[in-house]
A and B are shown apart, each in its own frame.
Chain A
Amino acid sequence: MTQLVWRSPGEEATIRFGVMLGRSLTGPAWIGLCGPLGAGKTRLAAGVARGLGFTGRVRSPSFVLEHRYQGLRPILHLDLYRLEKDDEDLRASWEEEIDAVVLVEWAERVAVPPRGGLSVRLVPDGEAGRLILLNWEAGTSPVGHLRLEALREGTADPEAANPGTGGRSGAGA
């Protein structure tokens, strides 16, 4: 059920995509970030936080498990790198965060993502390039429709005006 495919030629473009995604969020959201070590999950999370107006540092929470930031709304940045197995208690990490944008790295380790969650998969495409695949259940997206169109066209962010950096949209499969 791939809804959107975006091609990132490198780290900077991945961050820019995150900024666009962050700006497209019109409410609380749960965003699962999947992909292998070094795929750019933390970079994308940093972009989303910046897109939500947070100006401080966004660092990998692999070892400290979670970071919290305050942007236009609270941001909870979780990392399941050290999690060996999904657990019922994992849900408690975000269930009470009703106002927050929850970013979950290594989200492939979540057996049952919350309803309405957005999945972002980063697939290495050459040494530095990445394919960014967005998935969500039809009708439950936290990404507003108008903004979604902008995201599809890669024009939501003036910094991303460079036509070489994105805008490759894929039809739902």
Chain B
Amino acid sequence: MTPFRSEPADFAESAQVCIPRFGRSAPGPLDPILAIETSCDDTCAAVLTGEGRVCSGVVSSQGIHAAFLGVVPELASREHLMLILPAIRQALEEAGVTLQQLRGIAVTRGPGLIGCLLVGLATAKGLALSLDLPFVGVNHLDGHLHAIRATRSYDPPFVALVASGGHTELLLVEAWGRYRLLGATRDDAAGEAFDKVAKVLGLGFPGGAAIDRLAREGDPKAFTFPRPWLELERGGLEFSFSGLKTAVKNHVERSAPPAVPPGGAGMPEWDRFVRDTAASFQAAITDVLVAKLAEAARQTGVRRFLLCGGVACNSALRERTAHLAGRLGGEAAWPAPALCSDNAAMIGLAGVERLRRGECDPLSLAAVAGLEDLDWGTPDESAPAGFP
């Protein structure tokens, strides 16, 4: 008996499988598209138009649910199940669009938690099937790269840094859909280092914004933390933030006065220590990130930069990247803060071009947990001229 094969051999193959839609044409510039993102613990839905204008965006953060204690993959996927339809309904209502008016669906297919991805993917497939709509699977990181397009046009080539709690990837974006991975973290992500340092300093979770705020009032030269260059002088574009995190933790444990109240509130010396530690840590991590961006620019000859992911909200990183771009005679950009963290609008922006070209993924499209197993989409050369 020949084994039945329900999956295409790989994503590249499946991406070329374009089922012609009967009775419906590809979405036009003003037609509404639904986007869904459920790769981790935020349930996100958004509505945008075929020309990439974002009409609404809903992010249901599971962390704020009182009944929800901590984050367990199994629980996160169940929460998605409960939140996904209300999120979609709200996104449609805010955009003033009905289900029947939709002309396409874009959904995250990976990387992420497999059980969570499946909720979004199955929802998208169910809606696509019942409404006879085309749907496309989107790489989550491709989504982060496209978030900038919600507010402005920013066309390749550029060097992109995707930095969040789960990711630190340095990419050369040659064209939309054509990416070259230049470097990535070997251990902790940049956003993870921010949040773990914030926790060590008693600043709560997530703590990236608190570090940013306190660092402005602190002395970045007060303490010297290691800069993990990882052979930068020989062109190394990899990252490692685990040792920096541990160095800051050891420094805090050595220096902390006994019985510090939570956050050290009301103790001027401790407050200053926290500010100086935050500033010194932020200086160390941005030194590394910006130096790697500069080296990537040197190697590729591309002097334009894009910051995305949650760490792109950090003001010091933005300022220093803008300064670097200015020095090189280039340009730097980053998405609006709400679109730096996980959201569905960015998934829609990354998927809408394929929908406009009349493409559709097969209903057998699988969710993919690992980044390495995921193709980076297809080159955009056949995109309609003038998009967007």
Residues of A within 8 A of B78 (CB): 89
Residues of A within 8 A of B165 (CB): 62-64
Q: In whole angstroms, what is the CA distance A85 to B75 when docked?
A: 13
A87 touching B72 in the complex, CB below 8 Å, given contacts A37-B245, A38-B242, A62-B192: yes
Q: In whole angstroms, what is the CA distance A129 to B372 when docked?
A: 33
Q: Is B46 an interface residue (CB 8 A)?
A: no
A65 touching B242 in the complex, CB below 8 Å, given contacts A56-B372, A57-B184: no
Asked if A42 and B187 make an inter-chain contact with CB atoms under 8 angstroms apart, the answer reads yes
| Interchain CB contact (< 8 A) of A60 among B75, B192, B370 | B192
Q: Which residue of A lies closest to B186 (CB)?
A: A57
Residues of B within 8 A of A69 (CB): 370
Q: Is A93 an interface residue (CB 8 A)?
A: yes
Q: Is A171 an interface residue (CB 8 A)?
A: no
Residues of A within 8 A of B113 (CB): 64-66
A68 touching B114 in the complex, CB below 8 Å, given contacts A42-B187, A63-B192: yes
Q: In whole angstroms, what is the CA distance A36 to B246 when docked?
A: 10
Q: Is A90 an interface residue (CB 8 A)?
A: yes
Q: Is B166 an interface residue (CB 8 A)?
A: yes
Q: In whole angstroms, what is the CA distance A68 to B205 when docked?
A: 25
Q: In whole angstroms, what is the CA distance A66 to B123 when docked?
A: 22
Asked if B245 and A64 make an inter-chain contact with CB atoms under 8 angstroms apart, the answer reads no
Q: In the complex, how many angstroms separate the beta carbon of A73 from the nearest chain B beta carbon?
A: 16
Chain A proximity mask over B41-76: 1 for CB below 8 Å, otherwise 0: 100000000000000000000000000011111111
Q: In the complex, how many angstroms separate the beta carbon of B229 from the nearest chain A beta carbon?
A: 16
Query: Which residues 202-252 of B sit at the A interface, judged by CB distance below 8 A?
Result: 205, 242-243, 245-246, 249-250
Q: Is B191 an interface residue (CB 8 A)?
A: yes
Residues of B within 8 A of A127 (CB): 250
Residues of A within 8 A of B150 (CB): none
* Among A59, A68, A93: residue with most chain B CB under 10 A: A59
Residues of A within 8 A of B80 (CB): none
How many residues of chain B are within 8 Å of chain A by beta carbon? Answer: 38
Q: In the complex, how many angstroms separate the beta carbon of A107 from the nearest chain B beta carbon?
A: 14
Q: Is A115 an interface residue (CB 8 A)?
A: no
* Among B70, B75, B245, B250: residue with most chain A CB under 10 A: B70
Residues of B within 8 A of A78 (CB): 73
Q: Is the interface of A mostly helix, strand, loop or mixed?
A: loop
Asked if B249 and A65 make an inter-chain contact with CB atoms under 8 angstroms apart, the answer reads no
Residues of A within 8 A of B166 (CB): 63-64
Asked if B70 and A85 make an inter-chain contact with CB atoms under 8 angstroms apart, the answer reads yes
Q: Is B88 an interface residue (CB 8 A)?
A: no
Q: Is A23 an interface residue (CB 8 A)?
A: no
Chain B proximity mask over A62-80: 1 for CB below 8 Å, otherwise 0: 1111111100000000101
Q: Which residue of A lies closest to B247 (CB)?
A: A38
A38 touching B250 in the complex, CB below 8 Å, given contacts A60-B189, A63-B189, A67-B370: yes
Chain A proximity mask over B104-124: 1 for CB below 8 Å, otherwise 0: 000000001110000000000
Residues of B within 8 A of A67 (CB): 369-370
Chain A proximity mask over B161-196: 1 for CB below 8 Å, otherwise 0: 000111000000000000000001111110110011
Q: Is B40 an interface residue (CB 8 A)?
A: yes
Asked if B191 and A59 make an inter-chain contact with CB atoms under 8 angstroms apart, the answer reads no
Q: Is B200 an interface residue (CB 8 A)?
A: yes
Chain A proximity mask over B338-371: 1 for CB below 8 Å, otherwise 0: 0000000000000000000000000000000110
Residues of A within 8 A of B (CB): 11, 36-38, 42-43, 46, 56-57, 59-60, 62-69, 78, 80, 82-85, 87, 89-90, 92-93, 127
A and B contact pairs by CB, cutoff 8 A, 9 listed: A11-B243, A42-B187, A64-B40, A67-B369, A83-B69, A87-B75, A89-B78, A93-B72, A93-B73
Other CB < 8 Å A-B pairs besides A59-B186, A63-B192, 17 of them? Answer: A37-B246, A38-B242, A38-B245, A38-B246, A46-B187, A57-B372, A63-B40, A64-B40, A64-B166, A65-B40, A65-B71, A65-B72, A84-B69, A84-B70, A87-B75, A90-B74, A93-B73
For the complex of A and B, the 10 pairs showing the least CB-CB separation, nearest first, are A38-B246, A63-B165, A83-B70, A64-B166, A92-B74, A84-B70, A63-B166, A82-B71, A60-B188, A85-B69
Residues of B within 8 A of A (CB): 40-41, 69-76, 78, 112-114, 164-166, 184-189, 191-192, 195-196, 200, 205, 242-243, 245-246, 249-250, 369-370, 372
